[in-house]
Homo-oligomer: A and B are copies of this chain.
């Protein structure tokens, strides 16, 4: 069963023995510190390569006692299941790596307040951190913050939404355009007759911009499949209160009774489902995010498909990327798109966000 190890022919000690130098010198080479002649450096590197030597991370972390500080800046998760999941993923990652000497600070901003974000990035001293995870909802401020990190040489990981041109360690999040494209397919596949309506529900301009990308993907699907010549209607709702949404929807659908399917570009699909329930409307309904109310309407059969964006995994992966890069010195994929998950009444119970 559980036995003891035997090998003393591995590790830095063995390398030192083979190279006829001390452990300290091997160590210097491994961390490319100065104080080693080119000759011995080459010899040691050759031996390391030959042995396929992998340093013992346990011993390494134990001995170094190096502490790394990570900073996380995400929207408040209060009453927001999506960001709650994201934070959960962050916490899960943290619990796995804290024993490696990581500390993690979390800062939250208000999803509806650009100022709250601005405030945070002005108050925090980024240079006290070794890595930052950011959900850059607000574009301009995000750009400024990224520039700051770059200048300080601090690795920055984006989750949920990307700021393309900006330098960053990696992006982890959905491919908005293609998830909209996927929604197009799902609706086109099932639609027997009638027209299609796209609904954007948002008050903030920045978040609206994300919805537009999904809408573009959605429209692209129907353009690419012109065999079905279908009218695509669009409705922008600038208020997130249920009554307001209901009113706008109702007005629109009175005017366009032939609508057969609705695509809601975010998690507010629940409000549309609620409206459907109230007026006993049966249309194809597709929206976003694995959150309680949406799942409820999925069960009820009012929502046909939800597209999941894996916020939990985004948070987890984001922190892990920082860890892999900063602590383990590993190379990181620059673009890391989440899978476009299709959630239905039949498979939601097995779904992992």
Chain B neighbourhood of A62, CB < 8 A: 56, 58-59, 62
Per the CB 8 Å criterion, the residue count for chain A at the interface is 49
Please state if A67 and B342 are interface contacts (CB–CB under 8 Å): no
Secondary structure class of chain A's binding surface, majority of residues: mixed
The distance in angstroms between the C-alpha atoms of A353 and B192, with both chains bound, is 32
Chain B residues contacting A350 (CB-CB under 8 Å) are: 175, 178, 337-340
Residue in A2, A56, A181 with the greatest tally of chain B CB atoms within 10 Å: A2
Shortest Cβ gap from A298 to chain B (Å): 12
Task: Determine whether the beta carbon of B185 is less than 8 Å from that of A344.
Answer: yes
Q: Does A43 contact B (CB under 8 A)?
A: no
Contact indicator A68/B347 (Cβ below 8 Å):
no
A3 to B64, CA, bound (A): 10
CA distance A303 to B340 in the complex (A): 18
**Total copies of this chain within the assembly:** 2
Q: Which of A305-336 contact B (CB under 8 A)?
A: none
- Minimum Cβ distance to chain B for residue A215 (Å): 16
A3 to chain B: which residues have CB within 8 Å? Answer: 66-67
Asked if A151 is at the interface (CB within 8 A of a chain B CB), the reply is no
Known contacts A58-B62, A62-B62; A346/B340 CB under 8 A: yes
Query: Cβ of A178: which chain B residues have Cβ within 8 Å of it?
Result: 346-347, 349-350
Q: Is the CB of A5 within 8 A of B61?
A: no
Q: Which of A48-103 contact B (CB under 8 A)?
A: 54, 56-59, 61-62, 65-69, 99-101
For A345, list chain B residues within 8 Å (CB): 185
A101–B5 touching, CB < 8 Å: yes
- Closest residue on chain B to residue A101 by CB atoms: B5
Q: A340 to chain B: which residues have CB within 8 Å?
A: 346-347, 350
In the bound complex, CA of A79 to CA of B337 (Å): 29
Docked Cα-Cα span, A352 to B339, in Å, equals: 7
> What are the residues of chain B within 8 A of A346 when measuring CB–CB?
178, 181-182, 185, 221, 340
B residues less than 8 Å from A2 (CB atoms): 66-68, 130
Contacts of A190 in B (CB 8 A): 189-190
Query: How far, in whole Å, are A68 and B5 apart by their CA atoms in the complex?
Result: 10
- B344 touching A341, Cβ below 8 Å: no
CB-nearest residue of chain B relative to A129?
A: B1
Cα separation A127 to B1 with both chains bound (whole Å): 7
Show 9 residue pairs from A and B whose CB-CB distance is below 8 angstroms, ordered by the A residue.
A1-B127, A5-B65, A58-B100, A178-B347, A185-B344, A189-B190, A338-B350, A341-B347, A342-B347
Which 9 residue pairs spanning A and B have beta carbons closest together?
A340-B347, A342-B342, A58-B58, A182-B346, A339-B350, A189-B190, A5-B65, A2-B66, A185-B346
| 18 further A-B pairs in the complex, CB-CB below 8 A; given A62-B62, A339-B352 | A1-B69, A1-B127, A1-B128, A2-B67, A3-B66, A3-B67, A4-B67, A58-B62, A59-B62, A175-B350, A178-B347, A178-B349, A178-B350, A192-B192, A221-B346, A337-B350, A339-B350, A342-B344
